Amino acid sequence: MNNKILSGLILFFTVCIFIVTTCAEVSAFYNDETPKIKIDMQLFDEYYKLVQKCFSGAKCEGTIKQLVNGAVVESKFIAYSKDLQYKKIDVTSYGERFSKDLDEKKIDLTSHGDKFEMIITPDKVWYYFSDTKYVIYYVQKKNIAKFNSMAYLNLVKNDGKITKKVSDGQTVYQIIDYSHFIKQTIVSDSATGKVKSQLIETESGEKIEFIFKNWERWNGSDSVFKYPARVNDTKCAD
């Protein structure tokens, strides 16, 4: 697979992050009838403690779903999380062939069986294809915040909103970052406190959903979050 195809594939996945169902309908940003008010810090702290506990020293697996050209494209993943700032996601993508206008050129992006690693840190987010030793990375704060839970929550705390609903044994949190218009809807199991799903939406209408399962403890080495030592080619996507 050449680098242009890899770039296109990565850009497809970057409309998302790590962390309510596929059919869930969430109001668009500009149809949000609730005015911007000072965030409910008690509720914010409750949510922060929940995700901090869930994603600290944890491993899980699941699927990523996104609507592309009218078809749902899915990928499998295994995620390793040190805390809310350091995560590693091993992705195997599969699904429909689709096209995307990349750098003013129409190219085919094939998502069948492609594998790559996504590494999230406080200062940089990158995708690494070990077969070709190819890296695409982000360093701008607004792009890091799409993936880094702590960076996102800091934005929300300064200019955002959080709401909560409880029903049928599930707790649903909806969080909006007004500075970059990123909305997240997170569903957790009310009994266990484990996150079940995460839906991420952007102002442009892009949506991606993570389904989490098989949570377990993980005490891996920090070395998995290090930038690869051997790289053949890189591209900054900011």
Residue 119 has pLDDT above 90, yes or no: yes
Full set of structural domains in the chain with CATH: 3-236 (2.50.20.10)
- Bigger pLDDT: 192 vs 11: 192
Q: What's the first-to-final CA gap in the chain, in angstroms? A: 22
Report residue 71's pLDDT band, with 50, 70 and 90 as the boundaries.
low
Nearest Cα neighbor of 78 from 218, 221, 173, 229 is 218
Pairing of strands 87-94, 114-120: antiparallel
Q: In this model, does residue 18 exceed pLDDT 70? A: no
Instruction: Convert the pLDDT of each residue in 151-195 to its tens digit.
Output: 999 999 988 999 999 999 999 999 999 988 889 999 999 999 999
By CB atoms closer than 10 A (0-12, 13-18, 19+), residue 204 is: exposed
Can you list the alpha helix ranges (DSSP code H) found in the chain? Answer: 3-13, 41-55, 141-147, 149-158
* pTM to 2 decimal places: 0.74
Q: How far is CA 23 from the centre of its chain?
A: 18
CB 151 within 8 A of CB 13: no
d(CA 86, CA 80): 9
CA-based nearest residue to 147, from 217, 194, 212, 81: 81
Query: Per residue in 192-227, pLDDT tens?
Result: 999 999 998 888 777 889 999 999 999 989 999 999
